[in-house]
Amino acid sequence: MTLVSHQPAETLAALAALAAAAGPPGTTELPGAWRWRVHRRMAAVRDALLAETAGSADGWLAARGGTAYRGREVLLTRLGVLGARVLTETDLAPAHRELDRLVVDIAHHVQRLHDLAYDEVELELGGSE
């Protein structure tokens, strides 16, 4: 099983929008505005992750695809938990730090999917021999 992102550009765009929105809450901005903006961007990233579907792969790619799928499930769980924290916590600094880390982890996940797709094409074409 290999995860396939049907629209990787949309996933990356949603992630970039989240990263931009996830900057530290400004001193002139109300915390509630920051919370809702970040929460909406998190929902877009969640939707992009949910749009990934399982493809078919043989051999060693199937194991890597399964790992990517399990990693996606962990990221979705973290998004859900952090989404609630962003809306409810009074001290936003810890949630902000965790959000920064989550953005990096999702970017790594997207890169793993790109690597899997590349390896699958290389396998079909017979490699460099």
Each residue's pLDDT tens digit in the chain (129 positions)? 445 554 667 888 999 999 998 887 766 678 888 899 999 999 999 999 998 765 555 665 666 667 778 889 999 999 999 999 999 998 888 989 999 999 999 999 888 887 776 666 555 555 555
Q: What is the structure's pLDDT at 123?
A: 55
Residue 78 and residue 116: Cα distance in Å, rounded? 23
**Residues 6+ away with beta carbon under 8 Å from 40:** 21
Q: What is the structure's pLDDT at 6?
A: 47
Q: What is the structure's pLDDT at 10?
A: 80
Model-wide pTM > 0.95: no
